[in-house]
Amino acid sequence: MVEGLIESLAHEPVDLEHGPLFRMVCFKLAPESHVLWFGVHHIIADGWSLGLILRDLEDMYLAIIRRQTLDKPALSLQYKDYAYWEREQAESEGWLRSKAYWIQALSTVQMGVELPFIKQRPQVRGANAGVVMFSLSEEETSHVMEICAKHGVTLFMGVLASWFAVLHRMTSQRKLVIGTVYNNRDDLAYQDVVGCFVNPVPVPVMLDPEMRFDDLLSLVRSTTLDCLQHASYPFDQVVKDLGLQVTPNRTPIFDIGFSWNALSHMQHQSLGEADIRPYGNQTIHPKYDLLIIAGLDGGALTGVIEFDSDLYDHSQIEDLAEKATGVMRAVTANVATALADLPLGDSVSQQDQASTPVSIHLNF
């Protein structure tokens, strides 16, 4: 009963002109058992904002049950201040430099990445998605982190480089773009503001089969840092500047997204004195062909791949995840291995394909 109601709420269309853009419903299952559902349209909140909402919900709940007054300081800035600042930047020198950077960085890059086993792309992206998990052990993660530290890159960059290597080998494309996200909250005054600050950032890389993995690490580092220098420039404006036609069946510029540590706001285990946990199998609507979400769980690298199941089968993405973790393990033995020589291995066996189900709903 409740599952059906939640599914219906999740698929209810949102009227952007009249709202509401934030909805919350509490279902009482028993005197001490409740299901709280809330839906937030992405136009008013990003992943960071979900963490803020959960934090404030916990603070309010504690204040109520303890009969205390919740005294939160007023925010010095609101989202409208950010929107005003962004409009002011439109003709600034920094904005024009960023515009020139993105046009030069992306004008010669092949847009999109289509793996060889992709199905025929529908005219409109559907609502069917699948999830595959991947991980390294704490010991393996430690070895990867040592390699990254030795070459002056973050673990984020090291894992991203591994995915570039695998996609290059799988597609033979030399110019690849993977999209990541920038939280756009450099001003500390915006750290506690709910709003859609996040901005997609394309990371374009030129690869060669003879390139060594350690050289790829350096390239990913320099390219990522360059991109972040211009990460506040709106992605929608980049699309317009490049004269790209936006179609309903794929994301412009990149098909594969990579997000780091995006699961932190899902780690709440309690709400004051009440135990909380995710409820049911939440619906995932694919925004990209693949969205790779990775981060550290204790000392181990863990990740989730959300994929458009109209384009790919579950077993194919499991195999892709196995190839990526295989590359991460291989480069710890010899980081100077040429991309063409990295062992991709065979498809994982049926026995190895078992994984723990995950319930997650994230939008970026």
Residue-wise pLDDT tens digits, 183-196: 989 888 999 999 99
Q: Which two tokens stand for residue 150?
A: 């030795």
Rounded distance, CA 253 to CA 241, Å?
Answer: 12
Residue ranges per domain, the chain?
93-353
Band of pLDDT at residue 281, cut at 50, 70 and 90: low
Give the pLDDT score at 361: 34
Give the pLDDT score at 238: 96
Which contiguous run of DSSP H or E holds residue 289?
A: none
More confident residue, 12 or 209: 209
Tokens 């570039």 sit on residue: 164
Q: Kindly compute the dihedral angle of the four CA atoms of residues 352, 356, 357, 362, in this order, to the nearest 10 degrees.
A: -100
Give the pLDDT score at 358: 34
Give the pLDDT score at 269: 62
- Cα distances (Å, whole numbers) of residue 239 to 48, 65, 99, 235, 256: 24, 49, 11, 6, 16
Please calculate the CA angle 118-119-122 and round it to the nearest 5 degrees.
120
Nearest to 102 by CA among 2, 230, 199: 230
Which contiguous run of DSSP H or E holds residue 116?
A: none
Band of pLDDT at residue 7, cut at 50, 70 and 90: confident
Average pLDDT of the chain to the nearest whole number? 87
Residue-wise pLDDT tens digits, 237-280: 999 999 998 999 999 999 999 998 754 444 556 666 777 777 76
Q: Which two tokens stand for residue 358?
A: 């995950």
The yes-or-no verdict on residue 284 having pLDDT over 90 is no
The yes-or-no verdict on residue 355 having pLDDT over 50 is no
DSSP category for residue 299: T
Identify the architecture of domain 93-353 in CATH.
Answer: 2-Layer Sandwich (3.30)
Band of pLDDT at residue 349, cut at 50, 70 and 90: very low
- DSSP SS3 for 92: coil
pTM: 0.85
Judge whether 204 and 105 are in contact, CB under 8 Å.
yes
Residue-wise pLDDT tens digits, 308-347: 999 999 999 999 999 999 999 999 999 999 999 999 875 4
Judge whether 12 and 30 are in contact, CB under 8 Å.
no
Give the pLDDT score at 99: 96
Q: Which two tokens stand for residue 246?
A: 């936006």
Give the pLDDT score at 363: 33
The yes-or-no verdict on residue 128 having pLDDT over 90 is no
Judge whether 305 and 321 are in contact, CB under 8 Å.
yes
Q: What is the mean pLDDT of residues 25-46?
A: 89
- Centre a 10 Å sphere on the Cβ of residue 234 and count the other Cβ atoms it contains: 17
Rounded distance, CA 352 to CA 361, Å?
Answer: 25
Alpha helices of 92-185 — where are they, by DSSP H? Answer: 93-106, 138-150, 155-171
The yes-or-no verdict on residue 150 having pLDDT over 80 is yes
More confident residue, 53 or 155: 155
Nearest to 340 by CA among 217, 208, 201: 208
Rounded distance, CA 112 to CA 127, Å?
Answer: 20
Give the pLDDT score at 71: 87
Give the pLDDT score at 293: 93
Q: What is the mean pLDDT of residues 219-230?
A: 97
Nearest to 35 by CA among 72, 79, 3, 83: 3
Residue-wise pLDDT tens digits, 155-172: 999 999 999 999 999 999
The yes-or-no verdict on residue 282 having pLDDT over 70 is no
Q: What is the mean pLDDT of residues 59-73?
A: 89
Give the pLDDT score at 356: 33
Q: What is the mean pLDDT of residues 82-108?
A: 92
Q: State the sign of the Cα–Cα–Cα–Cα dihedral 254, 348, 220, 338.
A: negative
